[in-house]
């Protein structure tokens, strides 16, 4: 549940963050898997899609590398993070994204457990500090978790697409992810056909 949506969201999010730096060299999505690997010019990042956090899945992942976990912004997940905090702070390069795919804007928050641990200074502030951030994004209700997700692009992605179309004339990074670009290309073709048909109609009228 929500795995395709979360996978697409995180890929688009990271591509958007890389618009200026252009460090992404390759994106690999594994079939029948929750994993995505991204090769940057200076590092490799493993992404694991875990809509519902669980310790077995997390411990099965190598924790000595750059790692991103993507999960749903639900109360169960935040409670699990607090309860198993000691396991998550072992990896200095771990980032966890909490996402509400039902929203188009303000739909996520992110935490690096190791950095957050140094900022709060004391474990007694852990739960309160995380729940303050968690409350900044509308949580998913049990009904929403049971319902089928709807795919939708965030406003950030739409803005990035328009900016790239107007300002960015350089070729895009070559990746193995081309679903979004193909959709765009097809939409452009359809608009050009329509405009040509209009021109042909006007020209036929003038001849008459």
What does pTM read for this prediction? 0.69
Sheet-wide strand order for 67-72: 24-29, 35-40, 44-49, 67-72, 94-99, 108-111
pLDDT band at 147 (very low <50, low <70, confident <90, very high): low
**What pLDDT, on the 0 to 100 scale, is given for residue 142?**
61
**What is residue 50's DSSP assignment?**
-
Residue 189 has pLDDT above 60, yes or no: no
Report the C-alpha gap between 145 and 68 in whole angstroms.
Answer: 22
Residue 152 has pLDDT above 80, yes or no: no
pLDDT band at 177 (very low <50, low <70, confident <90, very high): low
């Amino acid at each position: 549940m929500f795995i395709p949506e979360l996978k697409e969201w995180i890929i688009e999010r990271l591509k958007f963050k890389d618009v200026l730096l252009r460090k992404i060299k390759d994106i690999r999505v594994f079939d029948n898997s929750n994993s995505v690997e991204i090769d940057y010019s200076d590092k490799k990042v493993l992404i694991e899609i875990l809509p519902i956090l669980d310790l077995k899945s997390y411990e099965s992942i190598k924790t000595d590398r750059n790692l991103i976990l993507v999960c749903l912004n639900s109360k169960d997940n935040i409670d699990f993070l607090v309860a198993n905090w000691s396991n998550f702070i072992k990896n200095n390069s771990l980032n966890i994204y909490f996402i509400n795919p039902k929203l188009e804007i303000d739909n996520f928050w992110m935490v690096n457990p190791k950095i957050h641990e140094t900022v709060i200074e004391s474990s007694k502030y852990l739960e309160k500090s995380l729940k303050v951030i968690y409350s900044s994004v509308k949580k998913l209700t049990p009904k929403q978790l049971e319902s089928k997700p709807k795919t939708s692009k965030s406003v950030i992605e739409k803005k990035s697409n328009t900016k790239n179309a107007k300002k960015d004339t350089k070729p895009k990074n070559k990746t193995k992810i081309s679903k979004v670009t193909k959709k765009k290309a097809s939409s452009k073709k359809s608009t050009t056909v329509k405009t040509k048909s209009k021109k042909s109609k006007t020209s036929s009228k003038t001849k008459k």
